[in-house]
Amino acid sequence: MGSIAKIHEMLQSKQVSCTELTKSYLEEIEKANGELNAYVCVTPDEALQTAAAVDKKIAAGEEIGLLEGVPMALKDNMSTKGIDTTCCSKILSGYKPIYDATVWEILKAQNAVMLGKTNMDEFAMGSSCENSCFGGAMNPFNTCHVAGGSSGGAASAVGGNIAAYGLGSDTGGSIRQPASFCGVVGLKPTYGAVSRYGLIAYASSLDQIGPITKSVEDASLVFDAIAKQDKRDSTSLGAVGGTTYDKLNNDIKGMKIGIAREYLDGVRDDVKEAVLAAAKVYESLGAEIVYFDLPVLKFALPVYYIIACAEASSNLGRYDGIRYGYKTAHYTGTHDMICRTRSEGFGEEVKRRILLGTYVLSAGYYDAYYKKATDLRGTIIKAFNDAFTHCDVILAPTVPMTAFEKGHAVSDPVETYLTDICTVPVNIAGLPGVSVPCGFNADGMPIGMQLIGKSFGEATILNAAYQYQQAAPEQFKDTKWGVKL
Amino acid sequence: MVTREDVENIALLSKLFVPEEELDGLTASMQEIIDFADAINNAPVSDEGFDNINNLSNVFREDEVVPSYPASEILKNAPEQAEDHFLVRNRE
């Protein structure tokens, strides 16, 4: 049974009150957050207020919803009315949105107990969480290692049992990569399945919100709750593929699981072995493994960085020191004020990506880079569509390595970009992908595998992930931290 | 080839100041990233093209007046304000 269903049962059967449960999460945050640095803002008053409302309903004999009263956390780039939302950037310091992101509006209406906002790379740009102005979130399996990024705080909080689940956002792997590093489940839904309204934009054609959870059932439950069409996000379509939780126990006998050879290139041996061992588990469950080539994958990473940075350079133009956030103290004119505000307010990686994005969009380079990258995006989408004519899901590593040690990612930007090689293709093609724990390296750090589905094929990949979880429960290890249910 | 002048020009377009002492380092770092991005120029010429994910098309709606946020709420996040407006900068 997943954590969410277990908490639901405990609350409904009055084994524990929602207030007691919330207090134990808050106490564990107090103990663990000094080391994990998973939360950048804790909201005890709001959490306990919601908990009291849930307890009142239970005391009155009312049935509560599955997510009702379950303590959770939101990545700090999702707008929360009246609560700091900073994207872990100095430029948004002190910013309190006047409205809620749609995902939070949905969960709040179901009495989700938000414990706080979680750490991330500044504006979701990074793969280690160390680009946060609050310092990086650490890995609950070993705090000398990073939690990954950019949704490192959410993965650390869930892996460290100081949130039952978290919401992250994934532009090039920012849900799946930290989930893989922290030994938890992370689902990046199909582009358009979940509303982006109130999600502070990084790259609008790639960004998507999804759950980070302890188990596949939990990811499925949260996805079903948040995948709703929203007229405030014109790209949102909702759960076109239907609900997923009711389809978790489908037989996968005869399912064709594809492995693209290119996904295994340059992947560390221990990671490759773990993924291939998972393929064996699938074979034992009656699935058929099909190898194929996806040569266009080798262009995915530069295509991703060109498109993401181009969109970021435009999206981040709004930070000018006038309407919200940080403003420089001394300036001589409007242009000087804006330039100083931005130069002082943005971190190094964000500035690098704004400059790169401006470069690839500027006259003389637009055709060679941006136009070429978007054309190749079409080619990559077609290649995935072709691949899905001979397999039902694609199995791949989530990251070519396990969580690196603190400080390792900061030194070389291009080397750090390479860690995203297995995750970015899904965002380019707008497909759903779920990262699931599938092993451990010699140092005990978790390894993750990724199941990629057709557009709106969340039910298929989550069912396949669930079948693996049932067959290989030993890969889903707990850490020493946090609340033990 | 990314030059110092390119970086200065892009910085101006991006409304960012790059201090003189960081210019060489940043030019080198930009060159490294552009070299990496140049890999796409070895890709076969594509005729797929790309419009958007999920083949979305524009949806038109009636131009109806709906409630919005009061100015006082929106101004709460302004670093500086004057007479119920955003203050861009002080008069010199």
**pLDDT of amino acid A9:** 97
Residue B21 lies in a domain: yes
Structural domain span for residue B12: 4-41
> Which residues 41-60 on chain B approach chain A with CB closer than 8 angstroms?
41, 43-44, 46, 48-50, 52-54, 56, 59
CA terminus-to-terminus distance, chain B: 42
Pick the residue of B15, B34, B61 with the most A CBs within 10 A to test the interface with A by mutation.
Answer: B15
Specify whether A57 is catalytic: no
Confidence check: pLDDT of B92 > 70 = no
How crowded is residue A30: how many other Cβ atoms within 10 Å of its Cβ? Answer: 12
CA distance B27 to B25: 5
CATH of the domain at A418: 3.90.1300.10
**pLDDT of amino acid A275:** 98
Residue A139 lies in a domain: yes
- Whether ipTM > 0.90 holds is yes
Residue B85 lies in a domain: no
Average pLDDT over residues A305-309: 96
Structural domain span for residue A236: 3-261+268-294+382-475
**pLDDT of amino acid A266:** 87
A436 in Cβ contact with A183 (< 8 Å): no
Q: What is the per-residue pLDDT across B39-57, written as a single tens digit (0 to 9) for each?
A: 898 887 766 778 888 888 8
Average pLDDT over residues A397-402: 96
How crowded is residue A286: how many other Cβ atoms within 10 Å of its Cβ? Answer: 12
Q: Among B2, B32, B41, whose Cβ lies nearest the Cβ of A414? A: B32
Residue B88 lies in a domain: no
Residue A459 lies in a domain: yes
**pLDDT of amino acid A256:** 98
Pick from A259, A479, A236: nearest CA to A387:
A259
Q: Find the length of chain A.
A: 485
The set of long-range contacts for B74-80, using a CB threshold of 8 Å and a minimum separation of 24, is B74/A98, B74/A323, B76/A96, B76/A98, B77/A94, B77/A95, B77/A96, B77/A98, B77/A323, B77/A324, B77/A325, B78/A322, B78/A323, B78/A324, B79/A321, B79/A322, B79/A324, B79/A325, B79/A326, B79/A327, B80/A327
| Summary mean pLDDT of chain B | 88
Angle subtended at Cα A175 by Cα A173 and Cα A180, rounded to the nearest 5 degrees: 85
Q: Among A327, A331, A377, whose Cβ lies nearest the Cβ of B50? A: A377
Residue B46 lies in a domain: no
| More confident of the two residues A261 and B61 | A261
**pLDDT of amino acid B53:** 85
> Which residues 80-139 on chain A approach chain B with CB closer than 8 angstroms?
94-96, 98-99
Residue A216 lies in a domain: yes
Confidence check: pLDDT of A411 > 70 = no
Verify whether the Cβ–Cβ distance A376 to B10 is below 8 Å.
Answer: no
CA distance B46 to B38: 16
- DSSP H or E segment with residue A278: helix A269-284
Average pLDDT over residues A1-8: 92
Residue B35 lies in a domain: yes
**pLDDT of amino acid B41:** 86
For chain A, the domain total comes to: 1
Confidence check: pLDDT of A268 > 90 = yes
Residue B76 lies in a domain: no
CA distance A163 to A161: 5
Q: Among B9, B18, B53, whose Cβ lies nearest the Cβ of A192? A: B53
For chain B, the domain total comes to: 1
Verify whether the Cβ–Cβ distance B78 to A356 is below 8 Å.
Answer: no
Average pLDDT over residues A50-73: 97
Residue B53 lies in a domain: no
Residue A360 lies in a domain: no
Going by pLDDT thresholds of 50, 70 and 90, the confidence category of residue B10 is very high
What is the three-class DSSP state of A409? coil
Pick from A417, A416, A423: nearest CA to A399:
A423
Q: Which residues of A130-165 are buried (b: 16+ CB within 10 A; e: fewer)?
A: bbbbbebbbbbbebebbbbbbbbbbbbbbbbbbbbb
Q: Which residues of A46-85 are buried (b: 16+ CB within 10 A; e: fewer)?
A: bbbebbeebbebbeeeeebebbbbbbbbbbbbbbbeebbb
A363–chain B Cβ distance below 8 A for any pair: no
Q: How far is A429 from chain B (nearest CA, A)?
A: 7
Q: Which residue carries 């110092």 as its tokens?
A: B4
Q: What are phi and psi of A292, to 5 degrees?
A: -155, 170
| Residue of A79, A89, A174, A215 marked catalytic | A174
